[in-house]
Each structure stands twice: as structure tokens, then as C-alpha cells.
């Protein structure tokens, strides 16, 4: 199972993420900041509160994003492509 093992919040709602398989990258989450669920980020310093929480990246008990979703975005894969690769390694 792919897991986030290190994160670093960056300016402009970006996250630098390293995953358990060695993949690293930066994901731009700025498109989410206007969504109702993500308004928390708009208060100064809140986006920087990101932490790894199980299988996701969280900012508090009510706000998280699945790490696999971010992994797929960084690697440019669909879930189906990812699942097929995992099947081949099993």
C-alpha cells in the first residue's frame, strides 16, 4: 500500500510529498481553497498545519485528503492504471 511518509506545506497552497515507494512531488491544491470544506485554509497559518494521518493528509479532524488521490495526481495515473500495476506486482 502506498503511503505518504513526509510532507512539507509550501506557499500558494502547494504540498511537497514523499511516498513510501520513493515517489516525490509537489501537488497544487489551490483549486480547492474556494470550496466550502477548505475555507479553513484561508485563515493565516492553517494550511501549514498539514500532517500525515493514516492514509491521508489532514489539517484537523474535519479536513483531510486521501494520500492516494495526491499520489495519482503527482504520477499522472488514473486509479485503474495504478490498480493494474499493483496487480502485476502481487
Q: Packing angle between helix 67-75 and helix 79-89, nearest 10 degrees?
A: 90
Mean pLDDT score, 84-90: 75
Number of domains in the chain: 1
Question: What CA–CA distance (Å, rounded) separates 74 from 10?
Answer: 15
Q: Return all residues near 78 (Cβ < 8 A) that are at least 6 apart.
A: 72
Residue 78 belongs to a domain with what CATH number? 3.30.2020.10
- In terms of residue numbers, what domain contains 22? 4-89
Tell me the torsion sign for CA atoms 13, 32, 46, 59. Answer: negative
Q: What confidence tens digit (pLDDT) does each residue in 20-65 have? A: 999 999 999 999 998 898 999 999 999 999 999 988 999 999 999 9
Amino acid at each position: 500500500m502506498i503511503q505518504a511518509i513526509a510532507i512539507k506545506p509550501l506557499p500558494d497552497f502547494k504540498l511537497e510529498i514523499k511516498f513510501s515507494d520513493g515517489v516525490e512531488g509537489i501537488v497544487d491544491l489551490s483549486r480547492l481553497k474556494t470550496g466550502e470544506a477548505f475555507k479553513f485554509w484561508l485563515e493565516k497559518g492553517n494550511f501549514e498545519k498539514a500532517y500525515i494521518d493514516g492514509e491521508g493528509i489532514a489539517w484537523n479532524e474535519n479536513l483531510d485528503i486521501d494520500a492516494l488521490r495526491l499520489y495519482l495526481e503527482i504520477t499522472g495515473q488514473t486509479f485503474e492504471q495504478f490498480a493494474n500495476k499493483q496487480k502485476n506486482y502481487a
